[in-house]
Chain A
C-alpha cells in the first residue's frame, strides 16, 4: 500500500501533526534556492521534543535520578508525543506525568517512583502558587473555646496533602538535592509559608485528620474522622508549616 502523500507544510494542522507523529511528513519546505528540503523539518521536531523533555527533566530531578537518565528521557519523549503541553505556561507541564509513568510496565515493581513524580510536581505547584500570609497559632488562640469545633480553615494557596503509601516520600528524600534522611511516613504535607517550599512527613492518622481540615470541613468533624490522631499536635504542625491562611467560626446562636 502506498504511503499517503505528505501534507502541505504551510497548513498548521499538518505541521503540528508531523511535530508529534514521527511517521508523518510535510511538503513545501525549501532551502534558500527553492530546492525541496523536507529533511529540514527535523530541526523543529527535534527542538520541540528535546526542549519539552528537558523541561520535564528539570521539573522531575529526583524521578530522573531514580529512573536513570536514559530511561527517563525515553519516558519523557513518549509523554511529549502523547501529551504535549496544553498551555504556554511550561511551569504547569507534567501534571499527569506521574500517571503516565505509573503505566510503564518497567516501573510496575517500583510504585514509589510515580509517587516521587507526584511529590515533585506538587512542590513545583506550591513554588508558583499565590502568595498569602499563613494563619498563625495566635490567630487560633483568639477564638472562643466553645466555638472551636465549628472552626473551618481555608487552605493556604500553596498547601497540599499528598498520600504516598508506596514509600515515595523516603525515595524523594534520598534523591533530593541535597538528600535528606528518609522518613517512613505514608503522607506528606507540602507548603510554602513564604519563599521556601517545605515537605513535612505525616503519619496515616495525622493525614486522616489533616485531609478533611484542608478540604474545609469543621475542626470537630475532622477530629471525629481521625480517632487515632493527636489532634492538638497535628494542628500545631499544620499551623507551624503554614497550611492555612484563614479561619472562621460559626457563632453559637
Chain B
C-alpha cells in the first residue's frame, strides 16, 4: 500500500530516525505519519533510502527541507532545488515544507536557520523564492515560522504580518511551530498568545512541537529539539488547536539526544489526545 500526495492525516506524527525503523515498522499505527529532513535522503542510495522506503510503505510522509536557504539574498541553488524535487518524486510526500530562514551564503552552508529582517524588500525576495520552489515541485509548500534570538532594527513589520502577506502573495501554507513561538516570545519579550492571535491560522497546514532549553547564562531560550515538549508549549498547542477548530497534522520533533521509539510515540500520543478532543467537538 502506498499513499498519494495530500494524504498526511490530521494526526500526530514523529520525525523518522533510522534507529527507530524496526520499532516503528513493528507498530506503525502508533503514529499518524512520519516527517524526514529532506537533506538526509539526498545521498545516492544505501541504508537510509532502504529504511525510508520500508517505512513509506506503511505510513504517510511529510518532507521537511532544512537546507534550501529560501531567505538567501542570492537566488536559490538550482542544484539543491532539483535534489528536493527528486526526493519528493521518489518519496511522494503528502506535505513539503521549508523554513523562513537562510543558511547558505556564497556557497558556504552554515547548518543553521539564520534570521531575516522583515521588510518589503525581503518579503518580495522570499515570495519570489517560494514561487520558484512551488513551480518546481508542482504543488504548494508550507513555510515554518522561525525561533528567534534577536530582532532586526531594520525590520518594518511584524513576523505575523510578514507571513500573512507572504501567504497572500504566493498561496503557500504555513507550519506553525508552537515551540518556536514560545522560544521567540521569551527571547523577544512578547506574549505568545498575542502572536498566535495575529498568526494567519487559516493557512496552517501542519503544527510542530519540540523541546527547548535555557542557554548557559539563563538569558535566552534555545530551540534545541533535544527533550520533551514543555508544559507551556502543550498549553499553547491545546489552545491554538481549539481556536483553529479542526485537527491538524502535528509533528513531535526530537532530533538530538534522541530517545527510544516508545518515548517518542508516547509524546505523539499526547498530541493525538488533544487532536481527538478537537475532532470530537468538531463532530458535535
A residues within 8 Å of B by Cβ? 8-10, 12-13, 15-16, 19-20, 28-34, 36-37, 40-41, 43-44, 47-48, 51-52, 55, 84-91, 126-131, 157-158, 192, 195
Contact = CB atoms under 8 A, between A and B. Distances in A.
Given A31-B188, A32-B189, A128-B43, A84 B110 contact: yes
Contact of A19 (B45, B83, B110, B190): B110
Contact of A157 (B45, B67, B153): B45
10 contacts: A10-B117, A10-B154, A29-B150, A34-B153, A84-B109, A89-B42, A127-B43, A129-B43, A129-B46, A130-B44
Nearest to A52: B111
A89 to B, nearest CB: 5
Contacts of B40: 91
Interface residues of B, number: 46
Contacts of A44: 110, 112, 114-115, 149
Interface in B94-142: 102-112, 114-115, 117
B44 A157 contact: yes
B149 A43 contact: yes
Given A43-B220, A48-B111, A32 B151 contact: yes
Interface string B36-48: 0001101111111
B66 interface: yes
A130 B45 contact: yes
A86 B111 CA distance: 10
Contact of A195 (B44, B47, B104, B154): B47
A46 B117 CA distance: 20
Nearest to A16: B105
B80 interface: yes
3 closest A-B pairs by CB: A88-B67, A32-B188, A128-B43
Contacts of B104: 88
The listed residue with most A CB atoms (<10 A of its CB), out of B43, B66, B215, is B43
Contacts of A30: 150-153
B187 interface: yes
Contacts of A40: 149-150, 187, 220
Most buried by A among B73, B114, B153: B153
